[in-house]
Amino acid sequence: MEKIDMNRVILIKYGELTTKKDNRKVFINALYNNISNKLKGLDYHIEKDLSRMYIEFNEKDLEKILDKINHVFGIHAYTVAYKVNSDIKDIEELILDVLPKIEIETFKVETKRSDKLFPIESTEFSKRIGSLILKNKHNIKVDVHHPKTVFHIEIRKDYTYIYFEEYMGIGGYPVGTQGKGLLMLSGGIDSPVAGYLSMKRGINIDCVYFEAIPHTSIEARNKVIELAKKLLTYGNNINLYVVPFTEIQEAIYKNCDKEYVITIMRRMMYRIMEKLVHKYNAHVIINGESIGQVASQTLTSMEVINSVTNLPVIRPVACLDKLEIISIAEKIDTYNISILPYEDCCTVFVPRHPVINPKLDKCIIEEEKFDYNMMIDNIINNIMTIKILDKQDDYDGLL
Ligand code: ATP
Ligand code: MG
């Protein structure tokens, strides 16, 4: 290991999780573990207290570390700060050191003194540092209302942190703090976004992909793997469960009223999801359904389809417009994968006129035409698990 840069440190601010008074420690520990996991293999040292995390780093890894931090939920904001002893002389020396390195037109100094033992009160100290800066740099002005540069000085018990710019983190709760959900991940645009948004609420996800080989291709599966990889950049481990759905789908198509095949297919998916949620110790089903988007996502369709399970079904994009969903997909870098043209099991079997207002009685009559319970048991015993790995190399060439 090369020497870690002791002079600078990344300060992490928690934001929303600090409002969870009772759970605060649990949340902070989870965030600490998640950050540590993400930074594996990089040269850094991390410490935490109840209001901040402090990451010392080797300069050569700074960019990589910041990129990882931009993918960790639970971080409200962060900054790269200079660190000195909480000693007046040391602070002033550091200010003089950095002055030649930065451009200033207008500025102000903002001091926060969380260590009340520090001998000078905050406003007084800001004034003192302000005049030090004015004395040592020419052609600059104080502007307390709209300064171009702010000298933030955070005085804590042992150390003081000085920084100029603060960046927004991606917010939310640390992944894992809300337990596990199973995401129905198709190759489409909506479901990866649903996965991202549910992870943002702290849900640990595993993914389920319904596959209908030979009607769908290995390329379609690889596309789903690729999407799960993108989600993994925001989470911990992800298992992708591949459900062999061909037999049941063919049986639906052969036995049931064509108008109802999609409704019944989705009822079967939900039945299988319920069993998988129990099998893998999850609590909820998550999917990319969006109200009104297609025939199976009208409110009446949702009612009839959802009635096969009592589990909560989380639909993070239910109320978003397609354009809003697309803009999130672009931000999380899944859009370009999602639009690759491979068939999904739903699109292969789409009837010309799917029912828009399905009736529950009719579904039950249609479903009695074949022994789906046996098929579902058989499917559950033949799930394939793919562990999604974090290494880019394992992944290249899959598409
Ligand atoms: P997306 O909604 O992700 O863009 P899509 O439009 O192909 O994909 P829909 O037919 O709208 O999918 O299905 C709604 C939701 O059902 C999806 O968002 C996804 O959560 C789930 N789903 C559909 N097909 C599959 C599949 N083959 N495997 C897993 N989940 C699926
Ligand atoms: Mg959709």
Q: How many A from CA of 290 to the centre of ligand 2?
A: 7
Domain count, the chain: 2
pLDDT at 145: 95
Q: Are residues 47 and 157 in the same domain?
A: yes
Helix (H) or strand (E) holding 379: helix 372-380
Residue of minimum CA distance from atom 24 in ligand 1 = 186
Q: Is the pLDDT of residue 172 over 80?
A: yes
Residue 65 in 3-state DSSP? Answer: helix
Place of tokens 């068939």: 343
Q: What is the mean pLDDT of residues 249-264?
A: 95
Q: Does some domain include residue 203? A: yes
Helix (H) or strand (E) holding 130: helix 122-136
Q: Which ligand is nearest to the CA of 346?
A: 1
Q: Are residues 192 and 299 in the same domain?
A: yes
Q: Does some domain include residue 192? A: yes
Q: How many A from CA of 188 to the centre of ligand 2?
A: 6
8 Å CB contact between 285 and 269: no
Q: Are residues 48 and 128 in the same domain?
A: yes
Q: Are residues 150 and 261 in the same domain?
A: no
* Residue where a domain terminates, one of 142, 170, 198: 170
Confidence of residue 295 (pLDDT cuts 50, 70, 90): confident
State the CATH number of the domain containing residue 271. 3.40.50.620
Q: Are residues 184 and 159 in the same domain?
A: no
pLDDT at 342: 74
Q: How far apart are CA 47 and CA 35, in angstroms?
A: 11
* Residue where a domain terminates, one of 122, 148, 170: 170
Q: Is the pLDDT of residue 248 over 50?
A: yes
Q: How far apart are CA 108 and CA 148, in angstroms?
A: 8
Pocket mutation for ligand 1, best pick of 184, 191, 245 (most atoms within 8 Å of C-beta): 191
Strand positions, DSSP E, the chain: 5-13, 44-48, 52-57, 75-85, 106-113, 141-142, 149-155, 159-163, 167-171, 180-184, 204-211, 238-244, 284-286, 313-314, 384-388
* Residue where a domain terminates, one of 118, 135, 170: 170
pLDDT at 294: 81
What pTM value is reported for the model?
Answer: 0.91
8 Å CB contact between 50 and 94: no
Q: How many A from CA of 312 to the centre of ligand 1?
A: 17
8 Å CB contact between 220 and 186: no
Determine the residue type at 316.
P
Q: How far apart are CA 125 and CA 165, in angstroms?
A: 20
pLDDT at 249: 95
Q: How far apart are CA 295 and CA 252, in angstroms?
A: 17
Q: Are residues 378 and 295 in the same domain?
A: yes
Q: Are residues 274 and 324 in the same domain?
A: yes
State the CATH number of the domain containing residue 136. 3.30.2130.30
Q: What percent of the chain has pLDDT over 70?
A: 93
Atom of ligand 1 nearest to the CA of 207: 29
Q: Residue 182: beta bridge partners? A: 206, 285
Atom of ligand 1 nearest to the CA of 216: 27
Q: Are residues 141 and 218 in the same domain?
A: no
Q: Are residues 159 and 80 in the same domain?
A: yes
Atom of ligand 1 nearest to the CA of 293: 11
Q: What percent of the chain has pLDDT over 90?
A: 84
Q: Is the pLDDT of residue 333 over 60?
A: yes
Q: What is the mean pLDDT of residues 86-106?
A: 94
pLDDT at 399: 40
Q: Provide the domain limits for residue 59.
A: 4-170
Q: Please report the DSSP string for 68-114 in residue order.
A: HHTT-TTEEEEEEEEEEES-HHHHHHHHHHHGGGS--SEEEEEEEE-
Residue of minimum CA distance from atom 4 in ligand 1 = 188
Point out the least confidently predicted range of 109-118, 195-204, 234-243, 388-397. 388-397
Q: How far apart are CA 328 and CA 196, in angstroms?
A: 9
Confidence of residue 8 (pLDDT cuts 50, 70, 90): very high
Q: How far apart are CA 199 and CA 286, in angstroms?
A: 10
Q: Does some domain include residue 175? A: no
8 Å CB contact between 44 and 8: no
Q: How far apart are CA 351 and CA 216, in angstroms?
A: 17
pLDDT at 179: 94
Q: Are residues 188 and 291 in the same domain?
A: yes
Q: Which ligand is nearest to the CA of 184?
A: 1
Pocket mutation for ligand 1, best pick of 346, 349, 350, 383 (most atoms within 8 Å of C-beta): 346
Q: Ligand 2 being an ion, which residues bring their Cβ within 5 A of it?
A: 190
pLDDT at 82: 96
Q: Are residues 187 and 140 in the same domain?
A: no
Q: Does some domain include residue 124? A: yes
Residue of minimum CA distance from atom 5 in ligand 1 = 188
Residue 333 token pair: 């870098």
Q: Are residues 75 and 151 in the same domain?
A: yes
Confidence of residue 398 (pLDDT cuts 50, 70, 90): very low
> For residue range 135-162, what is the model confidence (pLDDT) as tens digits?
999 999 999 999 999 999 999 989 999 9
Q: What is the mean pLDDT of residues 309-334?
A: 98
- Residues lining ligand 1, Cβ inside 6 A: 184-186, 188-191, 208-210, 287-289, 293-294, 344-346
Q: Which residue has the higher pLDDT, 390 or 280?
A: 280
